[in-house]
């Protein structure tokens, strides 16, 4: 088993560690534990640092190697930053925990995967909202938990990656 595969296994395991209990908490309490986010964020940051150092060491420690190693995690933070900005200005639309979770997932999975994950999560949340509205089970101001949709989007991205639908 090569080191890239080991990092992938750890990344998907950390994503599950964050999203499974986070989804349960979000459904029950409409909030996610700060401790869960802190622990997941710390572990993710450590894994990301190890991955960056490994990639730089493998590419002979040049400035270009540092740039290449930092680019994907850095760009992977952009969707989470956008969601955090939305959460600060629109308190009723999305929670800060959702933005922090997307930040963590961006570090773990990289830019391409996290953008796809956010798109799939928002799309599935929209479909679910339309179904609830159509069946008159919810009103336009009803709040729905977003973490389960993040988990669903993550599973879809994982399946797409395993079937060769994503390069990575």
pLDDT in tens, 68-112: 778 888 899 999 999 999 999 987 778 899 999 999 999 988 889
In a domain? residue 61: yes
In a domain? residue 96: yes
In a domain? residue 151: yes
d(CA 77, CA 57): 23
Residue whose C-alpha is closest to residue 113's, from 25, 8, 3: 8
Per the CB < 8 A criterion, the answer to whether 65 and 55 are in contact is: yes
Is residue 166's pLDDT more than 70? no
pLDDT tens by residue, 3-46? 778 888 888 888 899 999 999 999 999 889 999 999 999 999 99
In a domain? residue 168: no
What's the pLDDT band for 1 if we cut at 50, 70, 90? low
In a domain? residue 167: no
Least confident of 56-65, 70-79, 81-90, 116-125: 56-65
What's the pLDDT band for 167 if we cut at 50, 70, 90? very low
Report the chain's C-alpha Rg in angstroms.
17
- pTM (two decimals): 0.86
* Percent of the chain topping pLDDT 70: 93
In a domain? residue 27: yes
Task: Compute φ and ψ for 165, nearest 5 degrees.
Answer: -75, -20
In a domain? residue 127: yes
How many structural domains does the chain have? 1
CB atoms near residue 96 (< 10 Å):
17
Q: Structural domain of residue 101, as residue ranges?
A: 3-162
Three-state SS annotation for 47-115: HHHHHHHHHHHHCCCCHHHHHHHHHHHHHHCHHHHHHHHHHHHCCCCCCHHHHHHHHHHHHHHCHHHHH
In a domain? residue 66: yes
d(CA 100, CA 89): 15
């Amino acid at each position: 088993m090569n080191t890239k595969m080991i990092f992938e296994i750890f990344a998907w395991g950390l994503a599950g560690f964050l999203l499974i209990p986070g989804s349960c908490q979000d459904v029950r309490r409409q909030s996610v534990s700060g401790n869960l986010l802190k622990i997941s964020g710390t572990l993710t940051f450590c894994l990301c640092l190890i991955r960056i150092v490994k990639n730089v060491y493998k590419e002979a420690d040049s400035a270009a190697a540092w740039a290449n190693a930092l680019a994907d995690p850095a760009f992977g933070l952009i969707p989470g930053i956008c969601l955090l900005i939305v959460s600060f200005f629109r308190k009723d639309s999305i929670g800060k925990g959702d933005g922090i979770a997307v930040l963590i997932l961006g570090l773990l999975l990289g830019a391409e995967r996290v953008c796809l994950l956010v798109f799939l999560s928002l799309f599935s949340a929209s479909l679910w909202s339309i179904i609830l509205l159509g069946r008159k089970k919810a009103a336009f101001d009803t709040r729905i938990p977003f973490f389960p949709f993040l988990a669903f989007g993550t599973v879809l991205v994982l399946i797409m990656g395993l079937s060769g639908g994503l390069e990575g």
